[in-house]
Amino acid sequence: MSDVPNRPNPHKRRNSPNIPNVSNRPIQHTNSNRNAKSTVTKAHPTSPSLRTTIPRRITEILDWNSGDVLSWEIEKRGEKYFVIVRRLE
């Protein structure tokens, strides 16, 4: 038996009673959802890639965790572009 205390697994899915399951229905837009912001920065000084932080409220609603793999799609609707980000299972 180890003396190391049990640590939470960072890759385990959260099942918080305060966060509704929104996987099969539209997300209800509230001011708290729309006001999430983050800044885009260079991933590395010599890289053309950019990075940002996903706001905590967004990760809680989508049940995303560190180590999750995301797919990125671009969709054009009229003159605007939209990014669709999905967690791969």
- Predicted TM-score (pTM) of this structure: 0.55
Q: What span, in angstroms and rounded, lies between the C-alpha atoms of 71 and 51?
A: 15
pLDDT on residue 36? 84
The string of pLDDT tens digits covering residues 30-56 is 555 567 889 999 999 999 999 999 999
The pair of three-digit structure tokens given for residue 72, joined into one six-digit string: 């990125």
**Which residues, including other chains, have CB under 8 Å from residue 57's CB and lie 6 or more apart?**
32, 33, 36
